[in-house]
Structure 1
Amino acid sequence: MRSEKWISALWLLQLSCFSCGFCGKVLVWPMEYSHWINLKTILDELLDRGHEVTVLTPSATVFVDPSNSSRLHAEVFPVRINQEDLANFFENFITLWTYEWRKLPPLAYGAAMQDMFFQYSRVVKHQCESAVLNKDLMEKLKKGRPTTLCETMGKAEMWLIRTYWDFEFPRPYLPNFEFVGGLHCKPAKPLPEDMEKFVQSSGEHGIVVFSLGSMVKNLTDEKSNLIAAALAQIPQKVLWRYKGKKPDTLGPNTKTFDWIPQNDLLGHPKTKAFITHGGTNGIYEAIYHGIPMIGVPMFADQPDNIAHMKAKGAAVEVDFNSMTTEDMVNALKTVINNPSYKENAMRLSRIHHDQPVKPLDRAVFWIEFVMRHKGAKHLRPAAHDLTWYQYHSLDVIGFLLACVATVVFIVTKSCLFCCRKLGKTGKKQKRA
């Protein structure tokens, strides 16, 4: 499944100029999980530059918490669903996608996927309606004319894409697309004292960092024991972000944590490999620090992301549903002991760092550019202004078909006319 990695936020920009300099107001509709991590990085930078940022968010969220920053202004609107129900919905979604749906035949898989996405669409629709029909909120934000989500997205001046050419393959793209992958990556900071002590105890073998991202907290007992048994067979120490029940097969070289400073661990000189689900943020932290990967993709864009890293020679893939302990052990040994994976990861890291402008600065520049110029109409393709039949060239096709039909009609009529004339001439010659 091909999925673009958009920074999933709707930017509604209002320009405000002051005599002392330029600053603006930014209204943000954020998305959950890793999208919020990227967006929060951008918002913090905008705040540092003096902009006023307002985050429009429903009362029930899983990951979005603007209250963590005293500088962000949050406009919270009430929704029927509560935080626990929303979290359970996402957890159920992930469990079905990861464990159950892959066992289904194609038609049943498609039907189950469609049903779940319809449920998610209803959740999003309710959130949108709760915001738009909130009179006090709309009065505060100032009402605009009725519109649709597709129309609003079509009016987007700039698209910030969460990848870069260290990850992507060359392809044509529009001028209002800007690739800002890795904008959240930073140099590694010192680890907590107890964690640093565990890392240093690895000696010359080093460590392996293991995380399945912010959306996957637990695994089945069977799967966790399978993985733990594999990790116990390698000489490296393993730091595993895992909140579930402690596996019975967990070896003395493996330590589980509710949370790990992933970026700081990947930047540690003793890190040899990164076991990842293939989320965009985790992959970019590995690219940033030049760490080879063992990919265990589970859902969404993760298989596609790992496929990119395999093609670049920086990762080995292990199938989550069919993997055995031996598969995981072999993948770890391959990535750690084959120097080509480290070399390819370092090559991608050098490409990522060798940019004229840092991804975060580039993202903020284009946001401010849109604010300064009240848009970027000169970069938007005219396709957004076409009707559906113009976009698909149906009017051109219809005109050409009409021309062909006219020519065929004229030629047919001409042939019939000539045949009649020749027939009459032949009859007259016979009579004569």
Structure 2
Amino acid sequence: MLVMQLRYMFSVLLFLQGVTSENVLIWFAEGSHWINLKSVIEELIERGHNVTVAVHSSSPYVNYSEPHPFTFEVFEVPFAREEFRDILDDFVEFSIYEKPHNLLDVVGLRLREIVAAGTEFNRQTCDGVIKNRKLLQKLKAAKFKVLLSDPISPCGDLLAMKLGIPFIFTLRFSLGSSMERYCGQLPAPPSYVPVVMSGFSDKMTFTERLKNILYMHLCSVVNDWIWHGWDVYYSEVLGKPTTFCETMGKAEIWLIRTYWDFEFPRPLLPNFVFVGGLHCRPAKPLSQELEEFVQSSGEHGIVIFSLGSLVKNLTAEKANMIAEALGEIPQKVVWSYAGEQPKTLASNTMLYKWLPQNDLLGHPKTRVFITHGGTNGIYEAIYHGVPMIGIPLFADQPDNMAHMKAKGAAVVLSFVTLNKHDLVNAINTVINDTSYKENVLKLSQIQRDQPMSPLERAVFWIEFVMRHGGAQHLRPEAHSLSWYQYHCLDVIAFLFICLVIILFVLKKCCMFCCRKCRGTRVKKNKTE
């Protein structure tokens, strides 16, 4: 009760601080990234702010045609929605079935082709707003106080620079954390901070530390290749020499969508704020049909199975194998699957094209969550205290599940080598071994035991930037240092030169003294 009262008081104080209605501009993002942005948008509107979302006309996930409590500013792009969706589908299909097994595979020719195509779409999207003078004038006239952007969709920072307003990033990760490290100057000692997508924990062996350093530099090389074209583009738009990373580094606040229940302890900067789980909500009642199915599970409970919104289909062989495995467990199964119904589907399994995932995870009969390892799903499982079985597919998912495995809250399986025996064993292990439930409940307690909710914290910092016109006092001076100054290489070189000079002088002095002593002895011997 005391905790609830404190949270209420914080909410009242935050509301009073942010009571002035301001104009907020959102740079769109796709897929699960849009889910996080929508949570922030809804809270901003609840606090009385006017929100405008800039989105291109071919967005496959942002439905701007339906009524919303916020304004959409739609701009045209020279490609169709189907073309953009094909690029996303190519990336997903490549990642699942051609399967880059580790970071060394990201330089493969096929992936480079996909990345190059995606970059071209992103550049055309930027052109759609940056080179649209009428739209820029309209946005300037709106006098926005801040822009919120997910850097997974480039150009938000560039738009903010053109409009002359401060901007904030919200992100889960970048390849090898390169954006955070090089653009945000976030310290990341490779001795105990695992590179994103390495799959390592903070307790690394010598070999893992060696690989971690190599991965870090490999990611830097890959990002340099990706960013090079953006450096030229950003310089042209801003009319002065600049770089993609330099512009990103001007972000006032970085809202990182994880928290200490997920992350391993590591150094942070004052303008980096953890807001993991900002989309999590208490569970709502299920539909009558779904509730009846869940209740029919009896004491065994239910298993929730979802591979995310991007995976619409599986091969018939893989789908039949999974359905057969699920039919061998005593629990009822709710499976989010839009593909053709598997021939081996058992009576204990129900297929749904869409699931109220958060509400199911919050149901008392839920025993385990089989997931692809997306951050949103993991945080919903943590919030509701549900242990997991991870079948990661691509991007940050293997790394996410490596974190949950290290914290004792999940069993991880390989999608490529997945078979019926492994899946059944994993389900039985997670359900029957109480340590998994105990560990995820500990993470849930950590997630909930905060002075303000992650969503309140995210909105607080957005309003803070609006109230103060930025947060420059939180940005480290590292942004104005060159790479050799940042690593003190100039100081080390100076001290080394000083040391060499001192040693040289000492050597000369010693040689002089030796010659004097030798000359004195020779003169004395001659005299004798």
Instruction: Give the TM-score, by structure 2 length.
Output: 0.72
1:23-422 pair list within 5 angstroms: 23-102=21-100, 110-142=108-140, 143-144=162-163, 146=238, 148-407=243-502, 410=505
Change (3 A) 1:413 1:124: farther
Moved more, 71-80 or 401-410: 401-410
> Are the counterparts in 1 of residues 56 and 125 from structure 2 also a CA contact under 8 Å?
yes
Residues 1:28 and 1:330: Cα distance change in structure 2 (over 3 Å): same
Partner of 2:143: none
Q: CA RMSD in A?
A: 2.7
Maintained 8 Å contact 1:295/1:306: yes
- Deviation track 1:119-154 (CA, whole Å, cap 9, x = no partner) reads 322322222233211111222233458165423321
Offset at 1:294? 0.8
Structure 1 gap ranges (5+): 1-19
| 1-structure distance, mates of 2:129, 2:301 | 50
Deviates more, 1:272-281 or 1:216-225: 216-225
CA distance in 1, matches of 2:495, 2:434: 60
Q: Name the amino acid aligned to 2:365.
A: K
The equivalent residue for 1:11 is none
Do the aligned partners of 1:101 and 1:112 also contact (CA within 8 Å) in 2?
A: no
> 1:55, 1:66 within 8 Å by CA — same for their partners in 2?
no
Distance 1:27 1:107, change over 3 A: closer
Q: 139-148 or 421-430: which moved more?
A: 421-430
* CA deviation profile, 1:298-355 (whole Å, cap 9, x unmatched): 1111111111111222111111111110000000111112222222222222222222
- The aligned amino acid for 1:133 is K
Distance (Å, rounded) in 2 between the aligned partners of 1:164 and 1:106: 28
What CA distance in whole angstroms lies between the structure 1 residues aligned with 2:342 and 2:263?
37
Report deviation, 1:109: 5.9
Structure 1 contact 241–257 (Cα < 8 Å) conserved: yes
CA contact (8 A) 1:102 1:109 kept: no
Within 5 A, what are the aligned runs for 1:13-28? 22-28=20-26
| Structure 2 contact 90–114 (Cα < 8 Å) conserved | no
Using the alignment, how far apart are the partners of 2:454 and 2:115 within structure 1? 32
CA contact (8 A) 1:182 1:285 kept: yes
The residue type equivalent to 1:28 in the other structure is I
CA contact (8 A) 1:66 1:72 kept: no
Distance change in 2, residues 1:278/1:103 (3 Å) = closer
User: Is the contact made by 1:278 and 1:305 (CA closer than 8 Å) also made in structure 2?
Assistant: yes
Letter in 2 for 1:195: L
Q: 1:393: how far off?
A: 2.5
Look up the equivalent residue of 2:254 and give its one-letter code. W
Supply the distance in 2 between the matched residues of 1:402 and 1:199 (Cα, whole angstroms): 74
For 2:397 and 2:103, locate their aligned partners in 1 and report how far apart those are by CA, in whole Å. Answer: 21
Please report how far the alpha carbon of residue 398 of structure 1 lies from its aligned counterpart in structure 2 after TM superposition.
3.5
Taking only the aligned residue pairs, the percentage that are identical comes to: 57
Contact 2:19 2:47 in 1 (8 A): no
Partner residue, 1:8? none
Is this contact kept in 1: 2:87–2:117, CA < 8 A? no
